[in-house]
Amino acid sequence: MNDQRNTTEIVQASIKRRYAKEKRFRLYGLIAIISSLAFLAMLITTITIRGLPAFTQNFIQLDITLDQKTLGLGDEPDISALRKANYNGTIKNSLLAEFPDVTKRKDKKLLYKLVSKGGQYDLQKKVMADPELIGESMTVWLPVGDDVHTYLKGDVDITLPEKKRRFKDIQVGWIDSLQENGQIAKRFNKTFFESGDSREPELAGIRGALFGSMLTLVVTLALSFPVAVAAALYLEEFAPKNRWTDLIEVNINNLAAVPSIVFGLLGLAVFINFFHLPRSAPLVGGLVLSLMTLPTIIISSRAALKSVPPSIRDAALGLGASNLQVVFHHVLPLAMPGILTGTIIGMAQALGETAPLLMIGMVAFIVDVPTAITDPATVLPVQIFQWADLPEKGFVEKTSAAIMVLLAFLIVMNALAVYLRKKFERKW
C-alpha cells in the first residue's frame, strides 16, 4: 500500500510538468502558424496594393477630326495606306485645339505626351474597321501617357522642384483643367490583358507571357506526365530489383536535386545547338521544364504506387488478372490521387521557374502574343523579372499585377488538381 501511494505521488508530481510541456508545444505551433499567416497576409496585401492600379487605366476625352489632309490619305485609300496613315497627327491637332494657347515647341512636346502612343493604334483600329469615318469629327477616349497615369495615381510629388521630376507644372495644369471638365476617366485596363509586352508601361500587357506560360506548361505536362507515370509503373511494378534498378533510382533522386539552371544549359546545348529547335520557343521551354519535372513526378508516383494495398493486387491476381490488368484496372486508379498531387507540385515548380528559360532565350523582348509552341514567347516569371528591371515607374505596378496573375494562374491550376484528385479518390 505504502509503495503504491508513492507511485501515485511520483506520477502526480510529473503529470503537471507533462501537461505544461504539452501546452508549451501547442503554443509554439500556434505561434508558428500565426507568424506564417502574417507573412502571407503581408505579402499578398503588398502585392495587391501595388498591383491594383495596373488593372485600371485613365483615359482622356478628345474631339478628333479625321481629316484626309492630316492623315495623309488620298481619295480611295487602300488597306496599307489606312494602316500607315498619320493618326498621331490628328491626335496632336486635337490636343492643340483643346489648349490653343500652347505655342512653344517645348510645351507642345509636353502636351503631346498627355496621350499614350497607344492612342494612335486605337484610332487606326477604328478607322480600319470603318473607313467611312474619314473626314468625320468624333469624340473619343484615348489612354493617357504613363507620366499622366503616375500623376493621377498620386505618385508624383509636385512639391519637388520642377527640374527634379518628369511631370512638369504646365502638364499638371492641363490635366487639372481636363479633370474639371470631366474629360478624364478611369476605366478597367483591358490593354493589360489583351496585349503583349511593350516598352511603354501603359501599353504593356500580360497576355503574351500568360499564353507563353500556358503553352510551355502544356508541352511540359504532355511530355512529363506520361513519361514519368510509365517510368514509375515500370520501376515499381515490373522491373526486377537489382543493381541496375538501384542505380537508376539513385540517379532519379539525384536529378530531383539538380539546380534548374543546369537543365537550361542542357537544353541550350542539346535542343537548340544540336537539334536546332527554335530559340525562345515554348516547345524548348517545355522540353527543358519536363526534364526538371520528371524526377519529381516519378518519385511521387512511385510512392503512390507503393501505397496501394497489396491485398488489392492479390485479389485481382487471384481472380486471374494478368500483371498488366492488375496495374491498369486496380493499382493505377488507386494511385492516381497521389500521382496527381506529385504532378501538380511538379507543374507548379515548372510554372515558377525562370533560370533554365533564361538559358534558352525565353528572356527576349517579345511583343507578339504566341499562338503556337514554336512561336517566340516569354513566360510569366520571366516577364515579372524583366518588368522589375525596368526604370519607368509605371512598370512597378505592372510587376505586382503580373505577380497577381501568376498567383491566380497557380490557384486555378491547383484547384483543378484538387478537383481531379477528389474525383479519383476512392475509399477502401
Partner 1 sequence: MNDSSTEADTEKLVSMNIDQDIPHEQTVEEIVASLGDTVGQTRVDNPKMSCTDVNVFYADKQAIFGVDLDIADNEVISMIGPSGCGKSTLLRCLNRMNDTIPICKVTGDLTLDGENIYGKNTDPVLLRARVGMVFQKPNPFPKSIYENVAYGPRLHGLSRNKADLDDIVVTSLKKAGIYNEVKDRLDQPGTGLSGGQQQRLCIARTIACSPEVILMDEPCSALDPIATAKIEELIDELRENYSIAIVTHSMQQAARVSQRTAYFHLGKLVEVGGTDDIFTNPKHELTENYITGRFG
Each residue of 271-307: b (16+ CB within 10 Å) or e?
A: bbeeeebbebbbbbbbbbbbbbbbbbbbbbbbbbbee
Out of 46, 322, 328, 364, which residue is the one contacting partner 1 (CB under 8 A)? Answer: 322
Q: In the complex, what is the shortest distance from the CB of residue 308 to partner 1, in angstroms, rounded to a whole number?
A: 9
Residue among 126, 168, 279, 313 that touches partner 1 (CB under 8 A): 313
Residue 428 contacts partner 1 per CB under 8 A: yes
Give the residue, chosen from 50, 153, 279, 329, that forms a contact with partner 1 under the rule CB under 8 A.
329
The pattern of x and - marking residues 225 through 254 that bind partner 1 according to CB under 8 A reads ---------------xx-------------
When binding is defined by CB under 8 A, the residue of 248, 303, 317, 407 that contacts partner 1 is: 317
Which residue in the block uniquely carries the three cell numbers 474631339?
A: 63
Interface with partner 1 includes 50 (CB under 8 A)?
A: no
HSE on the CB side for 333, CA within 13 Å? 13
Half-sphere exposure of 132 (CA within 13 A, CB side): 1
C-beta closer to partner 1: residue 135 or 310? 310
Q: Give the integer Cα–Cα distance in Å for 378 and 167.
A: 32
Q: Please calculate the CA angle 214-303-290 and round it to the nearest 5 degrees.
A: 25
CB nearer partner 1, residue 2 or residue 311: 311
**Least distance (Å) from partner 1 to the CB of residue 252?**
22
228 or 331, CB closer to partner 1? Answer: 331
Sequence-ordered list of residues with C-beta below 8 angstroms from that of 114, at least 6 positions apart, any chain: 60, 95, 144, 145, 148, 171, 174, 175
Sites for partner 1 among residues 77-106 (CB under 8 A): none
Stretch that binds partner 1, among 3-11, 254-262, 363-371, 420-428 (CB under 8 A): 420-428
DSSP state of 145: P
Q: Does 334 bind partner 1 (CB under 8 A)?
A: yes
Helix intervals (H) in 52-100: 68-71, 79-84, 87-98
Angle between helices 332-351 and 282-306 (to 10 degrees): 140
Decide: is 421 part of the binding site for partner 1 (CB under 8 A).
Answer: no
Length of the chain: 428
CB of 310 to partner 1, least distance (A): 4
Q: Which helix (H) or strand (E) holds 46?
A: helix 2-51
- In the complex, what is the shortest distance from the CB of residue 321 to partner 1, in angstroms, rounded to a whole number? 6
Considering the complex, what minimum distance in angstroms separates the CB of residue 332 from partner 1?
13
Q: Give the β-pairing of 184-188 and 137-143.
A: unpaired
CB of 337 to partner 1, least distance (A): 12
- Least Cβ distance, residue 318 to partner 1 (angstroms): 4
Residue given cell 483543378 in the structure block? 416
Q: Which of residues 271-310 bind partner 1 (CB under 8 A)?
A: 309-310
The residue range among 6-14, 110-118, 328-336, 348-356 that interacts with partner 1, by the rule CB under 8 A, is: 328-336
Q: Which of 314, 328, 364, 411 binds partner 1 (CB under 8 A)?
A: 314
Compare residues 237 and 397 and give the one whose CB is closer to partner 1: 237
Q: Tell me if 161 contacts partner 1 by CB under 8 A.
A: no
Nearer to partner 1, 25 or 328 (CB): 328
**335 within 8 A of 428, measured Cβ to Cβ:** no
Number of residues that bind partner 1 (CB under 8 A): 23
Cβ atoms of 207 and 381 within 8 Å: the answer is no
Q: Which of 113, 149, 207, 330 binds partner 1 (CB under 8 A)?
A: 330
Tally of CA atoms within 13 A in the half-sphere of 148 that contains its CB: 28
Instruction: Output the CA angle 230-236-240, nearest 5 degrees.
Output: 110
Grid cell listed for 195:
496585349
Binding site for partner 1 (CB under 8 A): 240-241, 309-322, 325, 329-330, 334, 426-428
